[in-house]
Structure 1
Amino acid sequence: MSTTKLISWNVNGLRAILKKGFIEFFEREMPDILCLQEVKATQDQIEVDFPGYEIFWNAAEKKGYSGTAIYTRYRPLDVKYGLGLDHHDKEGRVITLEFDRVFVVTVYTPNAQDDLRRLSYRTEQWDRDFLAYVKSLEHKKPVIFCGDLNVAHKEIDLANPKANVKCAGFTPEERQGFDNIVAAGFVDTFRHFNQEPKNYTWWSYRTNARARNVGWRIDYFCVSGVLREHLVAASILPDVMGSDHCPVSIIVKDLFE
C-alpha cells in the first residue's frame, strides 16, 4: 500500500506566515501535496522553493488579495487555473491539478462578508458554478477538493451556532450550498472519521477566541464518493500557528505513484 499526505491551509498571507514558522512546518510535515489559500501575493514576491516540489500559483488581479497555490511532489498531467468563467476568475481562487487517477483542486470560496453584501453572489453564482465544475471533472476521473469553503456546515461545526445563524459562514443559504455538495456525492472527509464537537479550523483574532477554542470548522477536504475506500485518515492540526486558520490534512492510499 502506498500512502499520500495532502494538507490544505488558509495562510492569510504567505509573506507574513514565512516569518511565523511556515518553512519549519513544511519541513516537519513534508506533505506530498500542499494546497494554500489566501496567499495574498504573486509568485515572484515569494522566495521559497522546496527541493523535489513543483509550485503552481494563481494570484488575484487585485494586489495583496485572495490567491491560491499548490506545492506538489508529483508532477501533474495538466494544470488549470480558475473555473473557466470570467466573472469568477479574477480573484485567483481555484487551481486544478490532474494526475493519473484523480484531480486535486484547491479552492478559496468567497466570503459573504459581515454585512452579507456578497451572499447572493456567493450562494447563487459561486457555489452553483463551483459544484458544477467539480462534477464536470468527475466525468473524467474522481476529484479531491480542499480549501477554505467559508461555511460551517452543521451546528457541531462552530462553537456558538445559535448566535451566528444570520452571520456570514452560517446562513441557511451557505449551509444549503454544502448540503448540495454532499447530495452530489462528495464526502466530508473529517466527518467520515470524526463526529466529535469542538473541532475547529478558524478562530477570530478577537476576544482570545483561539485560546478558548471558540471557533468554526470552515476548512475541508472533500472527495468523490468512489474514493471513500482510499481514505486512511483525516485530521485537523490546531496546534499549527501563524494564521487565523489551521491546516487540515488527509492521508489516502493507492492513488498516487
Structure 2
Amino acid sequence: MKIATWNVNSVRTRLEHVTNWLLANPVEVLCLQETKVIDADFPRSPFTELGYHPAVCGQKSYNGVAILSRLPLEEVTVGFTPQLGEATVGEFDVQKRLISATVAGVRVISVYIPNGADYGSEKYLYKLHWLKLLREYLQRTLKDYPDLCICGDYNIAPDDRDIHFTTEPNRPVTGTTEVERQAFKDLLALGLGDAFRKFNAEAEQYSWWDYRAAAFRRNLGWRIDHHLLSHPLYEKAIACTIDVTPRQWTKPSDHTPVVVEF
C-alpha cells in the first residue's frame, strides 16, 4: 500500500495537477490539505473516474482536508469532536483541518495544522492549543487503531535539517520555535515515528518552497509535510519519498507530495 500526502493549495486550481499525478502515481490513498472548497463543490467526478472514493471536509476559500482512496473508506469522521467531545473542542473544529477514515485496516488521518502566523501572535497561540488537542485526539485514537498514519501539512520543521537556514534562539521563527518542536516531539512520544527519517537522515530534503525569491530553484525550502506512523505501521514501512516533480510544473502548489509505502 502507498499513502501520499499533498497540500494542493486549492484542489480546484490544481485539479489537473492532482489527476495527472495520480495517473502517473496510482497510490492507494491520497490525503489532501488546503482544498479551499465547501463539500458540495468539491470536484468528485474527476477522482471517481480514476477509481478514487473521496471523503471531504472543507470550507470556502480556506483550509479544507480530504482523503481519496482506491480502497473502501470506512468509519469516516471529521474534526476532533467525535473523539474529544464538544465541551473539550469548543471552537477548534470550526476550521476544517482534520479528517479520518479506515482503509484496509489502517486508520488514515489527513491533517492541516495551523500556520501560526507571527511568533507570539493570537494565531500562534491558537496553533499551540490546536496541537495540544491533536495530541489528546491521537492518544485516544491509538487505543482503538494500532495501525495509524497521520499525515499532512504540519507547519513544523522538526529540526534544523528541515529548513534552509539555521535557527537562532533570540530570533524565533514560527514553525521552528522550541515550543512547536517540542509539540512535535510530544506526538512522537505517543509511539509514533517520522516515516521519512526512517529512510533518510540527510538535510536539505524539503516539501515546501516559497513562491518568492526563486526559492524552489535555489532549494530554499522547509520539510513540513510529514507521515507519522504508529509503531506497528512504522515497522512495516519500506520507503518514504518526497516527489518534487509537481513543484516543477506551471503554477504549482508551493508544496509537493510525500509518499510512504508499506
TM-score, length-scaled by structure 2:
0.89
Identify if the C-alpha distance between structure 1 residues 24 and 31 changes in structure 2 by more than 3 Å, giving closer, same or farther.
Answer: same
Equivalent residue for 1:98, pick from 99, 102, 122: 102
Question: Which protein is richer in helix relative to its size?
Answer: 2
Matched-pair contact (CA < 8 Å) for 1:59–1:92: yes
1:181-200 mapped onto 2 (5 Å cutoff):
181-200=187-206
Corresponding residue for 1:215? 221
Partner Cα distance (1:18, 1:157) in 2:
28
**Percent of pairs identical after alignment?**
33
Residue 234 of structure 2 corresponds to which residue in structure 1?
228
List structure 1 segments (4+ residues) > 4 angstroms apart after TM superposition.
none
Q: Which residue of 2 aligns with 1:35?
A: 31
* Cα distance, 1:101–1:214 mapped onto 2, change above 3 Å: same
Count of paired positions: 245
Within-5 A mapping of 1:36-185:
36-47=32-43, 48-51=46-49, 52-60=51-59, 63-84=60-81, 85-99=89-103, 101-114=105-118, 116-117=120-121, 118-123=123-128, 125-142=129-146, 143-162=148-167, 166-185=172-191
Which shows bigger deviation, 99-108 or 211-220?
99-108
Q: Is the CA contact 1:79–1:95 (under 8 Å) kept in the aligned structure 2? A: yes
Q: Residue type of the partner of 2:165? A: N
Partners of 2:204 and 2:254 in 1: CA distance: 16
The separation in 2 between residues aligned to 1:94 and 1:49, in whole angstroms, is 20
Q: Which runs of 5+ in 2 are unaligned?
A: 82-88
Aligned to 1:244, which of 245, 248, 254? 254
CA contact (8 A) 1:78 1:99 kept: no
SS in 2 for 1:64: coil
Once the two structures are TM-superposed, the CA of residue 136 in structure 1 deviates from its matched residue by: 0.7
Gaps (5+ residues) in structure 1? 253-257
User: What does the per-residue CA deviation read over 1:132-167, in whole Å, with 9 as the maximum and x for residues that have no partner?
Assistant: 111211111221100000000001000102369511
SS of match in other structure, 1:55: strand
How big is the alpha-carbon RMSD for the aligned residues of Structure 1 and Structure 2? Answer: 1.6
Which of 5, 11, 14 pairs up with 1:8?
A: 5
Give the C-alpha shift of residue 99 in structure 1. Answer: 3.9
3-state SS, counterpart of residue 49 of structure 1: helix
CA distance in 2, matches of 1:109, 1:92: 10
Alpha-carbon distance between aligned partners in 1 of 2:70 and 2:228, rounded to the nearest angstrom: 21
Tell me the amino acid that sits aligned with residue 61 of structure 2.
G
CA–CA distance in structure 1, aligned partners of residues 168 and 22 of structure 2 = 36
Q: Shift of the alpha carbon at 1:53?
A: 1.7
**Contact persistence 1:32–1:73 (CA under 8 A):** yes
- Which letter does structure 1 place at the counterpart of 2:11? L
Match of 2:85 in 1: none
For 1:248 and 1:169, locate their aligned partners in 2 and report how far apart those are by CA, in whole Å: 19
Kindly state the Cα deviation for residue 116 of structure 1 after the two structures are TM-superposed.
4.2
Partner of 1:255: none
1:121 deviates by 1.7
Whether contact under 8 Å (2:33, 2:152) holds in the other structure is yes
What CA deviation, in whole Å up to 9, does each residue of 1:215-248 have, x standing for no partner? 0000000101122221011011112221001110
- For normalisation by structure 1, the TM-score amounts to 0.90
